[in-house]
Chains A and B, each alone.
Chain A
Amino acid sequence: MLPDSIDLISDEQKRLYISTLIIICGADGELVREEMAALESAMGQALIHPEGRADLRQSLVNIPKLNPILDRLEVTTARLALRDGFIIAACDGDYADEEISILQKIKEKAKLSDEVFQQLMEWVQEGWFWHSKGRTIIDANLLGDDKTHIDDN
């Protein structure tokens, strides 16, 4: 959502980062519009070339295998993919078991603890509240936004 360090990693690692997010998107067998918007947002934030984005979109049809991607992920990229993987997994409203399983594997590659794993889940929820607060200020609420935070009007 906000300025990020994703632009500090190499082009190859950016593609692997997006491929990891695509695997999470495809984990529960359906791709909702919110996930697609989040994925396009991530590709935009990473400033991936339009042709590169077109190639990556193709892999939504034929989801890549996780392990070969993980093998090539650097620790820094794995950490960013884990953080943003939590966001993208939460897009359809809940974490599916398949998504959690993938996130656990990314956590291992990222060399992060179970405690951080749990904290990232809470961090996403905080971000959700923050974003909903912005919508409330401009009166553009999503269903349920009014219940997610106490407005400091």
Chain B
Amino acid sequence: MLPDTIHKLPQAERFAYAKILAYMSRVDNELSVEEMAMFEQRLGTALLSPGQRKEIRLALKSPPSLEESLQALSPEGGRLAFRDSILMCAADGTVDSDELEALKRFASLLELKDNAMDRMLKWVSEGYAWMESGFELLNDL
């Protein structure tokens, strides 16, 4: 829900961004409720039209390849998709080996620095701690 830059991308890029999330959601052949909620949350943040969301949900069954979707993204759009792919893969509490391999491949396609993945995983873990501190404020939810 925090303010972000996704909705500032051109609509075609937001659509490609969502296709990448659809691809990443299928990497381990499982889609948990937490991953689905994260996926829907990011579609919402991207302000896709209801029609595009419907199309993306259908793409969950057979998403286009990472390379194909990346072609429609600017470098910044690609990096935002990378960040949110990590968030989504971690949504069920773990990033399994299949997801890790796919993320490494994604980082390589984006030509990110070697330590980018580790820094992002650390960042996600900090985000979990932040959410947890929010729960603690609200007591025993």
Interface contact A83-B40, CB-CB below 8 Å: no
Asked if residues B141 and A76 are in contact (CB atoms below 8 Å), the reply is yes
- Residues of B contacting A4 in the complex (Cβ-Cβ under 8 angstroms): 37, 131
Check if A133 sits within 8 Å of B5, measured CB to CB.
no
Decide: B141 and A84 in contact? CB cutoff 8 A: no
In the complex, whether B101 has a CB less than 8 A from a CB of chain A is no
Contact B1 A88 (CB under 8 A): yes
- Count of B interface residues, CB-CB < 8 Å: 51
A1 engages B5 (CB within 8 Å): no
From the candidates A41, A76, A110, A135, name the one contacting B1 in the complex (CB within 8 A): A41
In this complex, the member of A4, A53, A133 whose beta carbon has the largest number of chain B beta carbons within 10 angstroms is A4
Contacts of B39 in A (CB 8 A): 44
Q: Look across to chain B and name the residue whose beta carbon is closest to the beta carbon of A39.
A: B44
- Provide the B61-90 mask, 1 if CB < 8 A to any CB of A, else 0: 000000000000000100110110001000
B6 at the A/B interface (Cβ < 8 Å)? Answer: yes
Chain A interface SS verdict (over half): helix
| B interface majority secondary structure | helix
Specify the chain B residue showing the minimal Cβ separation from A116. Answer: B137
Query: B38, B42, B45 — which one has the most chain A CB atoms within 10 A of its CB?
Result: B45
User: B26 at the A/B interface (Cβ < 8 Å)?
Assistant: no
Q: How many of chain A's residues touch chain B, expressed as a range?
A: 35 or more
* A140, B37: Cβ atoms closer than 8 Å: no
A7 touches B120 (CB 8 A): no
* Given A38-B3, A80-B141, CB of A1 within 8 Å of CB of B123: no
- For the complex of A and B, the 8 pairs showing the least CB-CB separation, nearest first, are A40-B44, A44-B40, A44-B44, A138-B79, A45-B41, A41-B44, A44-B41, A41-B45
A-B contact pairs, 28 of them (CB 8 A): A1-B127, A3-B131, A4-B131, A7-B37, A37-B3, A37-B45, A37-B47, A40-B44, A42-B41, A44-B42, A45-B1, A45-B44, A50-B54, A80-B138, A82-B138, A120-B137, A127-B2, A127-B134, A131-B127, A134-B123, A135-B4, A137-B119, A138-B79, A138-B83, A138-B116, A139-B76, A140-B80, A140-B83
Beyond A53-B50, A83-B137, A123-B133: 14 further Cβ-contacts under 8 Å?
A: A1-B41, A2-B127, A3-B131, A33-B7, A34-B7, A41-B41, A44-B37, A45-B37, A45-B38, A45-B44, A47-B36, A120-B137, A126-B130, A134-B120
Interface residues of B (CB under 8 A from A): 1-7, 33-34, 36-47, 50, 53-54, 76, 79-80, 82-83, 87, 91-93, 112, 116, 119-120, 123-124, 126-128, 130-131, 133-135, 137-139, 141
